[in-house]
Amino acid sequence: MTDETLVKEIAAQLRNPQGQKGIEMAEMMNQTNIAMTLHSIACLDIEPHQSILELGHGNCGHLAHLLAQQEGLHYTGLEISALMQQEAIRLNQSFMTQKQAEFLLYDGLNLNFAEQQFDRIFSVNTLYFWQQPVALLNELYRVLKPHGLLNLTFAQKDFMQQLPFTQYNFELYDLEKLEHLVSQTTFQIKTYSIQQDVVKSKMGDLVEREFMTATLYK
């Protein structure tokens, strides 16, 4: 396998994990993304008995941490990857049995939910793959309750463009580009926080990563 072929395969698996390599990629993503995921959750300002939606949960190894934030929470996870849905279900059977969590598939745009259904929404490292970001933000606005929060957590453009696989079907963002995107919707940016950590890249190297969690409100 050539270096270019490997890089393209990594890019494809990051977008939509499939097969045994997809399972391995999901575990790696859970490990490398966990700091970003925990930061996104911490910035959600979760209150008891709230309904929480996540887009692109991967294997959802963070669900126990999320549900421990407050009592009486209910979690809904959406994925475009059937494999990730299956892995999340496999790893979180107990929460599903207790009716605390459900995992559903979607097409990357249309949300099959009633208006004003969720108190909090978050998504980590999916923004790069949104095919119609304005339309999807409008859908998220529709299903979010008044005064609800949406957290988007993503690695900064300056960092991401150094990675070889991001040249293949990744749309990279920084604060300025995010502000322009949000300005085309009814959302307002409430606050944002920039963090740094050191992770092993998908290519196996240790790299310093700068990421942002932007909190949007309705």
pLDDT in tens, 165-177: 556 567 899 999 9
Q: What's the one-letter identity of residue 18? A: Q
Lowest pLDDT segment from 53-67, 122-136, 194-208: 194-208
Identify the structural domains of the chain with CATH numbers, from first to last: 3-217 (3.40.50.150)
pTM of the model: 0.86
Tokens standing for residue 144: 């979010």
Question: What residues are paired with 213 via a beta bridge?
Answer: 153, 193
Q: What is the pLDDT of residue 156?
A: 87
Q: How many angstroms separate the CA atoms of 148 and 216, rounded?
A: 9
- Which of the 8 DSSP states describes residue 153? E
- Pairing mode, if any, of strands 206-217 and 144-155? antiparallel
Q: Find the mean pLDDT for residues 148-162.
A: 88
- Pairing mode, if any, of strands 74-79 and 101-105? parallel
CA 191 vs. chain centroid, Å, equals 18
Tokens standing for residue 133: 């970001």
**Rounded (to 5) percent helix, strand, coil in the chain:** 40, 30, 30
pLDDT averaged over the chain?
A: 87
Percentage above 70 pLDDT, the chain: 80
Higher-scoring residue by pLDDT: 133, 205: 133
Angle between helices 19-42 and 3-15 (to 10 degrees): 60
Q: What is the pLDDT of residue 157?
A: 79
72 backbone φψ class: left, alpha, beta (φ>0; ψ -120 to 50)? left
CA 135 vs. chain centroid, Å, equals 17
Q: Is the pLDDT of residue 37 over 80?
A: yes
1 CB contacts (<8 Å, ≥6 apart)?
9
Q: Calculate Rg over the CA atoms of the chain.
A: 16
Q: Is the pLDDT of residue 76 over 90?
A: yes
